Structure 1
Amino acid sequence: MPNWGYIAIIILACYIVASIALYYLQEYFIFKPEKLDKEFQFHYNNQIVEEYNLETRDGAIINGLHFKVENPKGVVLYLKGNSKSIKGWGKFAVDFTRHRYDVCMLDYRGFGKSTGRRSFKALKRDLQFVYNKLKEQVDEKYIILYGRSMGSGFAAKLASINNPKMLILDAPYYSLSKVAAKYIPFMPVSLIMRYPIPTYKWLKYVNCPIHIIHGTHDRLIPFKSSIKLSKIKPKLTRLYTVIGGGHKNLNNFESYHKMLGEIINSKMRKINLSNTSIGVQHAKKGVNVQA
């Protein structure tokens, strides 16, 4: 007859060890950095770009790129996803420069040429530091925050404590903890996640227009996550659907580029609802309505 108490202790011990391992090793699953040599030279055809390096208060270096246009309408702070470096992400700047917007990109700590020990607190502090530097050059009303995948959560955080022109979320997640729970539902995710990135919590405090773009065939971050996010601040939010779009290929859809152009070139106008059908009720079954 098996000793169930002994077996239970073994299972519990394994569970605890696995939880501890996930706590300390989760960065290897969350972040997929590409490191670049300090001497690496960035080059993009038909783009005017300047490289910058910002030193943080703890001595880390945040490396980034500033794509420039003549007489810009504003500037887009583009926060990328969790993989590679801005070497590859830089090719997406053209989607904004073509509309006469400057674009600032940066590599998170440990990505590209950026240095420093990475932590949730440090990443948030770095991004606010970069945002502050940007505010020294341009008024906030001309700053657009664009967050892609993992960057969408950090973009929401910045928008929640600043006053940018607008916030654009590309394939955002409800929270990184929710994504992790999908793959390891048997683990105490809420306790072991060092990078919870709760987009939904931060969106509650955003007061600028919010635009969410998501593909219907996204298998990594389901489209329904954007539907849930769009309900947090419905009066400020518009949800854009890329039919058939996945997680990494929205730029290959013409509809995405049409949406993006409409978003960044749009002007918020108040609507006079007094002469609309708002508040009109459909007649109940069996009740005649006089015209």
Structure 2
Amino acid sequence: MQNWGYIVVIFLVAYLIASIILYYLQEYFIFKPEKLDKDFQFHYNNQTVKEYNLETRDGAIINGLHFKVNNPKGVVLYLKGNSKSIKGWGKFAVDFTRHGYDVIMLDYRGFGKSTGRRSFKAIKRDLQFVYSKIKEKVNEKYIILYGRSMGSGFAAKLASINNPKMLILDAPYYSLNKVAAKYIPFMPISLIMRYPIPTYKWLKYVNCPIHIIHGTQDKLIPFKSSIKLSKIRPKLTRLYTVIGGGHKNLNNFESYHKMLGEIINSKMKRLNLSDTSIRVLHSSKKLNA
């Protein structure tokens, strides 16, 4: 019995140490930043691009790119995933500029040329700061929020406290806690996660049209997470399925580009259901012979 007591104590101590390590080192698992030199020059073929640097109230610098078109229909604030920098992500701007929309991309703290101490609170504050800057020049009814993977959660947060034209979520997760629990189910995730990013909670407060795009073969964030998210605000939400799409290759599917074009060029119309089958009653009674 005494030996069992020692084993239990050793296990508990090891468990506590592992939890502490995960608490303080989780950023190394969540974020995969690419650093860029201050004098790095961005260049994209056939795109008009302007680089900007915004200083936050705590002295951090948020670096971003503004892809411009003539006579824009609006602007897309594109929130990228958890890896690399906008140097590589900038190639996706063409998917929106080709439809007549300006695109703004930014690097989170510690990514690319952006500086500052990273935290969950700081990232949310930075993104609202950028959104407010856009709103100073563009009416919200012309602002589209696009969140890709990790960026989908932050896009949902912005949409929940602002009034953009629409919210587009690309391969979103239900919450980052759920993703982490998939890989380390034995750890107290709800207690140690400093970046829970609860997309599902924020979606409850979104009042604009919500469009969700997800691949059926996504191994990192399962398609079922988007099904669950689509049920939160069903009257405002449409779910788009990319058959065979994975987590990082949706842009290689023609169906994705067709969906995206339909989404950003669509105009919301009030649907009259009075003459549809939605209210048709079906009788189970047998007719007389």
TM-score, normalisation: structure 1 = 0.98
Deviation at 1:280, TM superposition (A): 1.6
Cα offset, 1:272, TM superposition: 1.0
| Distance in 2 (alpha carbons) for counterparts of 1:36 and 1:174 | 31
Report the AA paired with residue 61 of structure 1: I
Equivalent pair of 1:33/1:84 in contact (CA under 8 Å): yes
Deviations 1:180-206 (A, max 9, x none): 000000000000000000000000000
Structure 2 counterpart of 1:203, which letter?
Answer: L
| Alignment partner, residue 260 of structure 1 | 260
Q: In the aligned structure 2, how far is the partner of 1:129 from the partner of 1:250?
A: 30
1:289 and 1:191 map into 2 onto residues whose CA distance is 62
Residue number in structure 2 paired with 1:282: 282
Separation of aligned partners in 1, 2:203 and 2:281: 31
SS of equivalent residue, structure 1 residue 64:
strand
CA distance in 2, matches of 1:37, 1:272: 55
Q: Are the aligned partners of 1:209 and 1:236 in contact in 2 as well (CA < 8 Å)?
A: yes
* 2:206 aligned residue: 206
| Structure 1 residue 2, shift from structure 2 partner | 6.7
* Structure 2: distance between partners of 1:282 and 1:108: 55
For 2:253 and 2:14, locate their aligned partners in 1 and report how far apart those are by CA, in whole Å: 46
- Given residue 108 of structure 1, which amino acid in structure 2 is its aligned partner? Y
Distance verdict in 2 for CA 1:25–1:271, change over 3 Å: same
Distance 1:145 1:221 in 2: 20
Matches within 5 A, 1:233-248: 233-248=233-248
Q: 1:165 is aligned with what amino acid?
A: K
- Give me the whole-angstrom Cα distance separating, in 1, the residues matched to 2:228 and 2:281: 26
- Equivalent residue for 2:40? 40
8 Å contact from structure 1 (residues 170, 214) kept in 2: yes
2:252 partner letter = N
**Amino acid of the residue matched to residue 189 of structure 2?**
V
Residue 122 of structure 2: aligned partner: 122
Contact (CA 8 Å) 1:171, 1:215: kept in 2 or not?
Answer: yes
Q: Number of residue pairs matched?
A: 288
> In 1, Cα distance between the equivalents of 2:174 and 2:121?
19
Counterpart of 1:113, as a letter, is K
Report the counterpart of residue 113 of structure 1 in structure 2: 113
What letter is aligned with 2:42?
F
User: TM-score, normalised on structure 2?
Assistant: 0.98
Query: SS where residue 104 of structure 1 aligns?
Result: strand
Aligned twin of 1:144: 144
CA contact (8 A) 1:283 1:289 kept: no
Q: Percent identity?
A: 87
